[in-house]
Structure 1
Amino acid sequence: ESGHFLFRMGSLLFSPVSSLPRELKQFFIGKAAAYPIGSFERWLLQTLVKTIAYYAIELYGGQSVPLRITETKQEPELTNSTLSKQPLRVLIAGQLKSGKSSLVNALSAKLIAPVDVLPLTGALTPYKLNHDHLGEMLIYDSPGYDNENAWYESESDQNLGGFDLILVVCAANQAAREADVKFMTALRAWFDQHLKRRFPPVLAVVTHIDQLRPIREWDPPYDIHSPQNAKAQAIREALDYISSTLDIPANDCIPINLKPKYEYNIDAIWSALVEIQPAIHRAHHLRRLTEGKQREKWALIRKQLEHAGRFAVDQIKKS
């Protein structure tokens, strides 16, 4: 019985034109004769709407797939030009008190106030930013996570797949990295399950480096590639630890200081983004292409159901 039900639902999805009349026929057998013509037509239309709604709920129940279709005479063609006009999406993630909000402020030279867009989750706050080399970007600030609470677990799994670049903010003076490992594991798992998508570039932004020993010393710049003093050596060790723990290349770990009046190395973030720009745009292109195909699929299903409904009504009126 369940196998037959699944077969009927699958047939309705992949071939609604041929399947919907068959399903309607089962509803109509034995009922048409009991209705006058006017009442029969009203009942027919009501049954058609209820049937389509029933199978839509059964097929797609529990999935967060937003369907917003505007009435146009022709669906716009998805082209490389259309894709390139969409802003890049950047997620800023990190543990509680890691310095995420301070990083947002540090990037705010060209940052506009929070924008009223459709965020991937209500937990995220999007900002619009225009960069000379990277173009228009949407910066998504996220709540801090810990071992017990993680915003990306309580929301739809589509959240982690909706970005073209990830900035993981890690406090250098925080030894516990379990929550960051948990986030990176969830991120990699999402893309392992969606092989048509490209894993986005991930940079570890290492904050609070001024709090490393010796704490009272702060005399930048520091040569972390060939450390010449205890402070530079401590920064190097913090970067290596974060790199190995999160499985992020050491060159993608950027040490910065966000303390007001003591800001340091923030320009290195922009330099890194410009350097990995091709990888960011590749991830962006595949994300937009996948989303566009998904919208086209839903639009096609809607049109097929509309045509199937009209076909069924016409056939019944002719009989």
Structure 2
Amino acid sequence: MTVTGEDSQLGADPLDPPLMAPLRRDLTWQHVQSMSQSAVYRDDATMRRIRETAVVRRGTRMTKILSPAQVAGHLGGWLPYGFCYRACDIAHLTDPEQLNLLRTDGAVDGRVAYGLRWRATDPMDFELPADPGQPGLAALPAHSRIGAMVLGTGFTPSTDELIPEYITAGFADLPLPGNAQLIAYAPGGDEVVLYTYQPEQHGWLRLAGPRWRGLLDELPGVSPDREYVPCTAAGTARLVGTIDGKEYEAVADPPNEFRVRALTRAARYSVQTLSRRAEQALWRGVPCWVLQRDETWARLRLLRPDVDALSATGARCYERGVYEAWAPVDELADHHISDLAYQL
């Protein structure tokens, strides 16, 4: 087995196992890369084995490449959702122009690239944008999507890279773990940590100094002088934990720390169980996350977008793979709170 990517180091981090490919004389790296870009190889056994080596474990560093507007959204309280990558699989990409090709909003320009980086709370939070979990993504017509097409092979479209891609499971919002980072990739290859997430205060602490003020000036509606930015929006998903049967709001700091959310350090006890809680419903027979609602209307996101679901709901694409719609609350069926339990 050979590691793909010149800069990979086998076993460098057990939480970030490298992508591996069984290269040989009749299966060169160029051939593997070409196979990853063809729908013919969606069900190919060799490609499936290669893709399965790109494992997400508890604590694996994940990255989503963002536009400036998306950075501002996360500073306001957005949670991780949609397409993302293991940080180790894109670590060799340092040029903003290369990284901006991985943005989900359809735009690829910009002298600076931005990203959200966090550690995975659990592998169950991520899935492939392909069969069997997402059989309809690759078949969506071009006029109904934003960003690059979904190949269905588990790899991102590229002429010369082999990059496995993921989505948050069912395009769910994931509660943001402690020490998540908003980062910038500046011209010349510098990676700059702009902000780090403070879960107890539900806000972002600025780390970038005066040298990097220009990177903050790119962000719409964000004051580069603020040292602390509180999130103004409540999350659409949250973690809950129990201690001796009593329920608490919880915080994850993977890979090993899962605790009660408390302002005082002495009260941050480790929880005994942990679950991700969010609202789900059916609308016109289509399973959706309920992101926002009042007495009359609800904002929904499709769990498994396909041609039939889009036809039934009229959902609109807001970024790559993410389809949302507004629906009358009284038309929702099986409206419930969903708890997805993790194994600690």
Does TM, normalized by the shorter one, top 0.5?
no
TM-score, normalised to structure 2's length? 0.23
Higher share of residues assigned helix? 1
TM-score, normalised to structure 1's length? 0.24
Rg larger in structure = 1
Higher share of residues assigned strand? 2
